[in-house]
C-alpha cells in the first residue's frame, strides 16, 4: 500500500442506528430542529463564497457581546457592584444561548467547514465561552447528532450519477437520511445480497462550498500578515486545505478503513466496518451498518467498569495506529463511535487520517520517551529540534514546554490517570492563560507583546485536534486507567509498515 500523505476529514456526525433494518422499524418524522421530514428541503447547501461569508456575518451580532465580555473580564476583572456583575452574567448567558441557536441554524444549513467548526465547539472542552460551556454546548450538541438534511432528490441525483438509480443498485433504499453531517448525509439501504448497509452520499456542490471556505481562510491569513508569517500560518493553512479537499474523495476513506482494519485485525474489541467497494465511488460510500449504542447514551447509562473498558479500547485504536504504524486518526468526534457489549467499540469514519513521515514519528517518540524517563534536558532539546520551540524567548519557551508536558501526562504518567472535563478544559485554558500573561504590555508600553513563534512541522498540524478532541471524549466517559502501560511498547518499539 502506498497511501497519500494527507487524507481528508470525514463527515463527523453519525447517529444511533439499529442492528438491522427490519421492515417495521420506526423512521424519524422530524429533523433535529423539529421540522417535518416531508417538508421542502434544499437540494444543495449554499456554495458561493460571498453568500457563505454573508451567512457567517450574521452570527457576529450574537457572538460579539460574548467576546466583548470575555475580553473585558480578562483585562479589568469583575465589576465593582455585585448587581452590575449579576446583570452582566445574565446578559452573557442569554447571549450564549442566542449565539448557540444561531450557530445551530446557520452552520447546519451551510454544511462544510463552518459546520465542522461548530461540531468541534460542541464537544471539545474549552472552546465554548469560559463560564458558559454548559449553556452553549447544550444547544450545539444537536450538531453532533444530526445536522439538517437535504432533499430526497438531492441524494438520488448523486447516487444515480455515481452508481446508477438507487432503486436499481440496492434491493431497498430509504429516501430519508438517518444522519446528516458536514459534507454528506447517510441513508439506510439493503444490498442485492441482503446485507443492511449505511450509504453516505455527498452533498451536491459541497466541493465548491469547501473551496470557497478555504479561500476565505486564505484571505484572513493575508490580512493578518506579517503576524501570520511569525506563526507560520501559511504552512498550517496549506496542511488544512490539503486535508479538507482530500476528504471529498470517498475512495480515499475506503482505503483508510482497509488500513485500519489491518492494523487492528487481532484486537477483537475494535470494530472497523466493512466497505462495499462495488457500491462505492468518489461521492458515495457504502459500508456495514453497525449496531450498538451512541456516545451520549453510553456515557449516561453504562457502568464505570464498562466506560473504563471502552476508553481503553479507544486508546488502543488511536495509539496503536499512530505509534506502531504512523497512521494518525485525527477525528475523535463523539459521533464516530458506537459502543457494543463487552467493551467493544466500532469506529465509523476514516476520512480524517494522516500518515506521518517516519522522521516526524521518530521525533514525536523521542520527546515522549524523554518525558517517560524524566530526562527533562533531553525533553527540552527535543521540543526545540522536533517541535520548533524557540528557547531564545524564555517566557514563551517555558509556556510551550509546560503545555507539552501537560497534554502528554496521560501517556507519560506511571500510574492511573483519570480523565475529567476539568482536565480536558485545562489543555486549552493553559495556553490561553499563559499567553495572556506574556502579552501584558511592559511598563511604559501600550502595545501587547506577542508570544514567541513556533516552527512546528506542517504534518504535525492535526495532532492538536486529536489531543483536544480525545481529551474531551475521554472526559465524557469519566475513564480511569494506566494509559502509559497500554502505549509504551509501541512508543519504544519500531515503526511497522502496513502490508
Which residue stretches of the chain have pLDDT < 50?
1-39, 58, 60-77, 79, 219-232
The string of DSSP letters for 228-296 reads: HHHTTHHHHHHHHHHHHHHTT-HHHHHHHHHHHHHHTTT-TTEE---B-GGG--SSEEEEEPP-SB-HH
pLDDT of 151: 75
pLDDT of 115: 53
pLDDT of 177: 87
- How far is it, in rounded angstroms, from Cα 121 to Cα 96? 13
Domain ranges of the chain: 49-145
- How far is it, in rounded angstroms, from Cα 139 to Cα 144? 10
C-alpha cell of 39?
Answer: 417538508
Backbone angles phi, psi at 314, to 5 degrees: -60, -40
pLDDT of 149: 65
User: What tens digit of pLDDT does each residue of 169-207 get?
Assistant: 999 999 988 887 777 889 999 999 999 999 999 888 777
Amino acid at each position: 500500500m502506498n497511501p497519500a500523505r494527507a487524507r481528508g476529514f470525514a463527515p463527523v456526525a453519525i447517529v444511533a442506528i439499529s442492528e438491522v433494518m427490519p421492515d417495521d422499524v420506526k423512521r424519524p418524522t422530524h429533523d433535529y430542529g423539529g421540522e417535518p421530514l416531508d417538508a421542502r428541503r434544499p437540494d444543495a447547501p449554499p456554495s458561493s463564497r460571498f453568500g457563505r461569508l454573508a451567512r457567517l456575518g450574521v452570527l457576529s451580532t450574537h457572538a460579539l457581546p460574548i467576546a466583548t465580555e470575555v475580553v473585558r473580564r480578562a483585562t479589568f476583572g469583575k465589576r465593582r457592584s455585585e448587581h452590575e456583575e449579576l446583570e452582566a452574567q445574565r446578559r452573557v448567558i442569554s447571549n450564549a444561548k442566542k449565539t448557540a441557536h444561531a450557530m445551530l441554524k446557520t452552520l447546519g444549513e451551510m454544511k462544510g467547514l463552518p459546520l465542522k467548526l461548530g461540531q468541534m465547539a460542541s464537544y471539545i472542552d474549552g472552546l465554548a465561552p469560559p463560564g458558559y460551556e454548559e449553556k452553549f454546548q447544550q444547544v450545539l450538541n444537536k450538531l453532533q447528532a444530526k445536522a439538517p438534511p437535504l432533499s430526497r432528490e438531492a441524494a438520488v441525483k448523486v447516487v444515480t450519477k455515481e452508481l446508477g438509480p438507487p432503486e436499481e443498485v440496492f434491493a431497498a433504499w430509504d429516501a430519508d437520511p438517518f444522519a446528516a453531517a458536514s459534507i454528506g448525509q447517510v441513508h439506510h439501504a439493503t444490498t442485492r445480497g441482503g446485507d443492511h448497509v449505511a450509504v453516505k452520499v455527498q452533498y451536491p456542490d459541497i466541493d465548491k462550498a469547501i473551496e470557497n471556505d478555504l479561500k476565505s481562510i486564505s484571505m484572513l491569513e493575508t490580512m493578518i500578515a506579517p503576524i501570520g508569517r511569525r506563526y507560520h500560518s501559511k504552512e498550517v493553512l496549506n496542511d488544512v486545505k490539503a486535508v479538507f479537499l482530500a476528504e471529498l474523495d470517498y475512495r480515499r476513506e475506503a482505503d483508510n478503513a482497509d488500513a485500519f482494519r489491518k492494523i487492528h485485525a487481532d484486537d477483537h474489541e475494535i470494530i472497523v466496518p466493512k466497505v462495499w467497494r462495488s457500491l462505492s465511488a468518489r461521492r458515495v460510500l457504502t459500508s456495514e451498518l453497525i449496531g450498538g449504542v451512541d456516545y451520549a447514551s453510553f456515557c449516561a447509562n453504562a457502568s464505570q467498569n464498562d466506560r473504563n473498558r471502552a476508553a481503553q479500547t479507544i486508546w488502543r485504536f488511536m495509539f496503536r495506529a499512530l505509534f506502531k504504524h504512523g497512521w494518525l486518526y485525527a477525528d475523535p468526534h463523539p459521533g464516530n463511535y458506537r459502543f457494543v457489549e463487552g467493551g467493544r467499540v466500532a469506529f465509523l469514519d476514516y476520512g480524517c487520517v494522516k500518515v506521518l513521515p517516519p522522521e516526524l514519528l521518530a521525533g514525536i517518540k523521542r520527546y515522549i520517551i524523554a518525558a517517560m524517563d524524566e530526562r527533562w534536558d533531553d525533553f527540552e532539546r527535543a521540543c526545540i529540534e522536533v517541535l520548533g520551540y524557540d528557547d531564545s524567548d524564555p517566557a514563551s519557551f517555558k509556556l510551550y514546554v509546560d503545555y507539552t508536558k501537560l497534554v502528554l501526562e496521560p501517556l507519560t504518567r506511571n500510574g492511573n490517570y483519570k480523565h475529567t472535563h476539568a482536565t480536558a478544559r485545562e489543555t486549552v485554558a493553559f495556553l490561553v492563560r499563559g499567553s495572556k500573561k506574556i502579552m501584558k504590555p511592559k511598563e511604559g508600553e501600550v502595545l501587547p507583546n506577542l508570544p514567541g513563534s513556533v516552527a512546528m512541522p506542517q504534518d504535525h498540524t492535526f495532532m492538536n485536534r486529536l489531543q483536544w478532541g480525545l481529551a474531551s471524549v475521554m472526559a465524557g466517559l469519566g475513564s480511569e486507567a494506566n494509559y502509559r502501560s497500554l502505549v509504551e511498547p509501541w512508543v519504544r518499539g519500531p515503526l511497522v509498515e502496513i502490508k
